Amino acid sequence: MINQIFPATRARRLRQAPFIRELVRETRLAPGQLIQPLFVAETEEAGAIATMPGQQRYTLKDLAKEGKQLAKLGVSAVALFPALNAKLKNATGTEALNPKGLIPRAIGTLKAAAPELGVICDVALDPYTNHGHDGVLTDDGRIENDTSVELLRQQALLLARAGADVVAPSDMMDGRIGTIRTVLERDSRKDTLILAYSAKYASAFYGPFRDAVGSKAALKGDKRTYQMDPANTDEALREVALDIAEGADMVMVKPALPYLDIIRRVKDEFSMPTFAYQVSGEYAMLKTAAANGWLDEKKVVLEALLSIRRAGADAILTYFAKDVAGWLD
């Protein structure tokens, strides 16, 4: 008689073949869960972005082509960011309030080219100011919260009137979600969605993005007085709770990979649509490592995005969205 006792459960049985791994897979990644950030520029500012290999600043003509391709691949939405000529920037970012400005025209271009594609528009002043901050600076170098919120209110309304499906305040000023929701309701824009960058950290991973929009060289000081301290987690929950109470439809954690714990806590606490932004620094690291042959690009990108989904993100802003949609097709 053989007295050997075998394990009652062999977990490896559920890993032994592709068909069973597919059947029991807990987390899935699909093109419809991805949002492609796109940089928009006039002709003279358009072109490749050196610190973000494979990304570029699109002219309106090229933006239309890109929108059609993304829609065909099943990507749900794009997030638009302007790269302006320095001559259009000033201390208060007034170009953000120009109804004939670059982003309002970009919205119209995309809606005409790919009407099924969701258009998300950033609400912040940093691409428009000559000091690179998301709000208005006082004479002593502080960010004036309430003055900034008034400008953000006007910017959000302008973008909604231009046809944006989603306005996405990324500025981290206090009270801006409630102010924007109020003005949208009063303007009969009840269906305009608000994606709140609720837990946006003062991260070192934003450098390539600031190159792309031209705010890095101009930035005076840092953004630690309004973006969150990377050491804090409970504070993220307080910020998210405030934005939900003020009328946000979706909340954002940014960056993504260094803050998977925050994504998980936010999703568990609020059960709200929770988005994450795989930011420019995350993209640049993976892209550069792959270009040097140190990592397999497709494998590490898919693994990274799955980890963000597994942490609780319902959707992901990622510069890899187009590539991933092609891989998954």
| Cis geometry, peptide bond prior to residue 53 (ω within 30 degrees of 0) | no
Residue 148 has pLDDT above 70, yes or no: yes
Domain tally, the chain:
1
Q: What average pLDDT does the chain have?
A: 96
Number of neighbours of residue 261 by Cβ within 10 angstroms: 12
3-state secondary structure of 248: coil
Backbone angles phi, psi at 168, to 5 degrees: -130, 90
Q: Does pLDDT of 4 surpass 80?
A: no
Residue 66, CA distances (Å) to 80, 109, 111, 119, 315 in order: 12, 11, 12, 13, 20
**H or E segment and range at residue 195:** strand 193-200
DSSP 13-77: GGGSSHHHHHHH------GGGEEEEEEEE-GGG-EE-TTSTT-EEEPHHHHHHHHHHHHHHT--E
Confirm whether 19 is domain-assigned.
Answer: no
| Enclosing domain of residue 172 | 29-328
* Residue among 167, 190, 163 at smallest CA distance from 106: 163
Residues 86 and 76 sit within 8 Å (Cβ to Cβ): no
pLDDT at 220: 80
1 in any annotated domain: no
17 in a domain, yes or no? no
Q: Does any domain span residue 12? A: no
Distance separating alpha carbons of residues 287 and 65, to the nearest angstrom = 24
Residue 84, domain member (yes or no): yes
Residue 21 belongs to a domain: no
**149 belongs to a structural domain:** yes
Name every residue whose Cβ is closer than 8 Å to that of residue 197 and which is 6 or more positions away in sequence: 168, 169, 170, 171, 172, 252, 254, 277
Q: Say if residue 9's pLDDT is above 90.
A: no
Residue 4 DSSP code: P
Calpha distance 195→249 (Å, rounded): 6
pLDDT of residue 2: 61
The CATH number covering residue 218 comes to 3.20.20.70
In this prediction, residue 141 carries a pLDDT of 86
The pTM score is: 0.95
What backbone torsions phi and psi does residue 201 show, to the nearest 5 degrees?
A: -90, 155
- What single letter denotes the amino acid at residue 38? L
> Which region, left, alpha or beta, applies to residue 47 given φ > 0 means left and ψ of -120 to 50 means alpha?
left
Catalytic site positions: 200, 254
Q: How confident is the model at residue 64 (pLDDT cuts 50, 70, 90)?
A: very high
Would the pLDDT of 303 be above 70?
yes
80-114: pLDDT as tens digits: 999 999 999 999 999 999 999 999 999 999 999 99
- Please report whether residue 258 resides in a domain: yes
Q: Which residue reads 């693994």 in tokens? A: 303
DSSP 294: S
